[in-house]
Structure 1
Amino acid sequence: MKKLILGSALALMLSTAAHAETVGVSMSKFDDNFLTVLRNGMIDYSKTLPGVTLQVEDAQNDVAKQQSQIQNFIASGVSAIIVNPVDTDATTAMSKLAADAKIPLVYVNREPVNVDSLPANQAFVASNEQESGTLETKEICRLLKGKGKAIVMMGELSNQAARMRTKDVHDVLATDDCKGIEIIQEQTANWQRTEGSDLMANWLSSGIEFDAVISNNDEMAIGAIQALKAAGKDLSKIVIGGVDATQDALAAMQAGDLDVTVFQDAAGQGKGSLDAALKLAKGEKVDTKVYIPFQLVTPENVKDFVKKN
């Protein structure tokens, strides 16, 4: 009987070990509201999956540190790697490291520069950035009735999302319905609320006048709102838009300060990236690009998205 019990226990242990998966996760930085939701979504989802362990590291916005983390994941023999890139132009080298080690790699949220030439066991999970800036700018154009002056706040220029969202803005404003809107300033605030506030304060001190703020993300838009309020500006006369639909952005919209944002499903991207990584680790086929749809958020439907976040 003892032999039978021991045999059964050993078989269970071996079965569990056979299904255990360790996934190394390198996030560009922990100190970011949207990426925190993404990271927590991934961690929470992993807790529902038996035998799955995440090793989550903070690259602290340092490309060299992130590459070192990937090398350490490889050395420790993880089943798969998930990367939220610090610099999307630096991903070719990261892909080669993982491919040479024959370890699956999934990029999440930020599109790698080599997305169209990823190795067979690599994938990209995010939302299609062509939708984000387009949805935001079309709604701002509608609110302005196709005429006015706009300022654009860009994210980190090393980031594909910032470049794509800014291109979306220009593409929409070049259309017949929106070409009456002129961009009078366009600068980066590196995705950050504080930098967004400082940039807006600088613009205001220079005496420029504008009808809209088109921001690549919510954090910079919130920073702009703070600076505008500090300067005593009437927010009802300025259309302000962002992207991500973070909790703070939704609160700003409900308070009447933010006019437009675009829901990017951070938790959904985290879950999708982990699903892709685990499938690749098992040798299953995964689409090279997995897109989680963006959705326009306005004061009319904001309550629907408060529940989602």
Structure 2
Amino acid sequence: MKLTQIVWFASAVMMGNMAMAQATPVKIAVLMYGNKAEFVQLMEKYAKDYPGVKSGEVSLTFYDGRYDASIQNDQAATAIQTKTDAIIVNPMDFEANIDIVTHANQAGIPVVVANARLNTDAMTSEVISNDELGGYLEAKAVLDKLDCKKHKVNVVIIEGPKGGSGEIQRGKGNDKAIAECGAGQVNVLERKTANWSRAEAQPLVENWLQKHRGKINGVIGQNDEMALGAIEAIKGAGLDVKDFAIAGVDGVSDAIHAVQAGEMVSILQDAKGQMQGAIDVALRAVKGKGYQPQSDIWQQYAKDLKWEDGTQKHYFVPWTTVTAANAQQLLDARK
């Protein structure tokens, strides 16, 4: 073989290897705390709609944590062992799932926390919404409707899973809104968890309606699913939902329909913003300086959500209060 042929062949092999390397997708393990809730399903939908996923640049592997922190930790171990390039975790537990970050860091794998929080700053970044603010906004919506500064009112609070960041942070926001009404103005008759579940919230509220017959004025559900369970309980008891002030958090489709019907208030957290933002930040960690984000959420929230080269520790996706005016637009965006 002549020298020129050898050089040409070597160059062709090198270019072929480079093309193969460039064609190899970035592998991201996505650890969701549980896939039964619509909000989690929306996060998965928007992950699959991410431009880099559609182009083949990114390969996603989803894990269903089945609402169990220990299962999520085991799934993270599997992702690490199979040499994923990055991990996005929607953690079940504020404390117990810190192990995911610890073990990933030891393996040199970036971790981006999405939606819920972990009690650590050792992760690469987090892309979330401020749950304390969300809890404040939903409780304030209930208490403003009840005019709590002028009238003493009775409310019940349906909490998220105990020990999860959502329950902790939204609970703080609930308490802040209650305190603003003034001492003794708001009586919290009941405060228990329904584990983000509509099915668990319904019998819980049915019992409360029996126990506190005619006394409950408002229902603060720390997510929409539980608020919707409360609505079903109220209707099942033969009561008029519009006689109650009810609010939830997430902006799931059924809640948006309930807003249109005048039955509740919902504070929407953006599943697309959180998930696609998390993928962009994870890709920046893998690809390095110069990576440009692919999701349009950075333009959508340009005023409040700055890319900052994808290296910030905390990214807060803004909340949106669902109203009769914007409800249909929000629903149409999901089609």
Answer yes or no: same fold by TM over 0.5: yes
Return the offset for 1:11: 2.1
Structure 1 CA distance, aligned partners of 2:64 and 2:246?
Answer: 31
CA radius of gyration, larger in: 2
Instruction: Determine if the alignment matches structure 1 residue 292 to structure 2 residue 297.
Output: no
Deviations 1:38-74 (A, max 9, x none): 1221122142344211111112122222112111111
How many residue pairs end up in the alignment?
303
Deviations 1:229-272 (A, max 9, x none): 011011121111000011111112222322x1101001211101
Q: Tell me: CA distance 1:292–1:252, structure 2 relative to 1, closer, same or farther (3 Å).
A: same
Instruction: Determine if the alignment matches structure 1 residue 24 to structure 2 residue 29.
Output: yes
Specify which of 192, 206, 222 is matched with residue 216 of structure 1: 222
Return the offset for 1:177: 6.3
Structure 2 CA distance, aligned partners of 1:215 and 1:44?
Answer: 30
Deviations 1:15-59 (A, max 9, x none): 342463111111111111111101221122142344211111112
Indicate if the aligned counterparts of 1:127 and 1:294 stay in contact, CA closer than 8 A: yes
Q: Tell me: CA distance 1:144–1:15, structure 2 relative to 1, closer, same or farther (3 Å).
A: same
Specify which of 158, 162, 166 is matched with residue 167 of structure 2: 162
Indicate if the aligned counterparts of 2:68 and 2:92 stay in contact, CA closer than 8 A: yes
SS of residue in 2 equivalent to 1:47: helix
Unmatched tracts of structure 2, length 5 or more? 290-309
Instruction: Determine if the alignment matches structure 1 residue 238 to structure 2 residue 263.
Output: no
Q: What corresponds to 1:79 in structure 2? A: 85
Structure 1 CA distance, aligned partners of 2:277 and 2:184?
Answer: 38
Indicate if the aligned counterparts of 1:16 and 1:51 stay in contact, CA closer than 8 A: no
Structure 2 CA distance, aligned partners of 1:241 and 1:265?
Answer: 17
Q: Mapping of 1:1-309 within 5 angstroms?
A: 11-12=15-16, 14-18=18-22, 20-45=25-50, 46-114=52-120, 117-119=121-123, 122-146=124-148, 147=151, 148-176=153-181, 180-208=185-213, 209-258=215-264, 260-284=265-289, 286-309=311-334
TM-score of the two chains, using structure 2 as the length reference: 0.84
Deviations 1:60-96 (A, max 9, x none): 1222221121111111111111111121211322111
Structure 1 CA distance, aligned partners of 2:248 and 2:9?
Answer: 60
Return the offset for 1:176: 4.5
Q: Tell me: CA distance 1:178–1:274, structure 2 relative to 1, closer, same or farther (3 Å).
A: farther
Amino acid corresponding to residue 238 of structure 1 in structure 2: F
Structure 1 CA distance, aligned partners of 2:315 and 2:10?
Answer: 44
Q: Tell me: CA distance 1:32–1:77, structure 2 relative to 1, closer, same or farther (3 Å).
A: same
For the aligned residues, what is the CA RMSD?
2.3
Indicate if the aligned counterparts of 2:132 and 2:169 stay in contact, CA closer than 8 A: yes
Q: Tell me: CA distance 1:196–1:11, structure 2 relative to 1, closer, same or farther (3 Å).
A: same
- Report % sequence identity: 30
TM-score of the two chains, using structure 1 as the length reference: 0.91
SS of residue in 1 equivalent to 2:186: strand
Q: Tell me: CA distance 1:37–1:6, structure 2 relative to 1, closer, same or farther (3 Å).
A: farther
Larger mean CA deviation between 96-105 and 8-17 belongs to: 8-17
Deviations 1:113-162 (A, max 9, x none): 11xx315xx11111011220111122222211123211111010121111
Q: Tell me: CA distance 1:6–1:194, structure 2 relative to 1, closer, same or farther (3 Å).
A: farther
Q: Tell me: CA distance 1:24–1:302, structure 2 relative to 1, closer, same or farther (3 Å).
A: same
Stretches of 4+ aligned residues off by more than 4 angstroms: 2-10, 176-179
Unmatched tracts of structure 1, length 5 or more? none
Q: Tell me: CA distance 1:78–1:226, structure 2 relative to 1, closer, same or farther (3 Å).
A: same
Amino acid corresponding to residue 330 of structure 2 in structure 1: F
Structure 1 CA distance, aligned partners of 2:314 and 2:55?
Answer: 23
Amino acid corresponding to residue 70 of structure 2 in structure 1: A
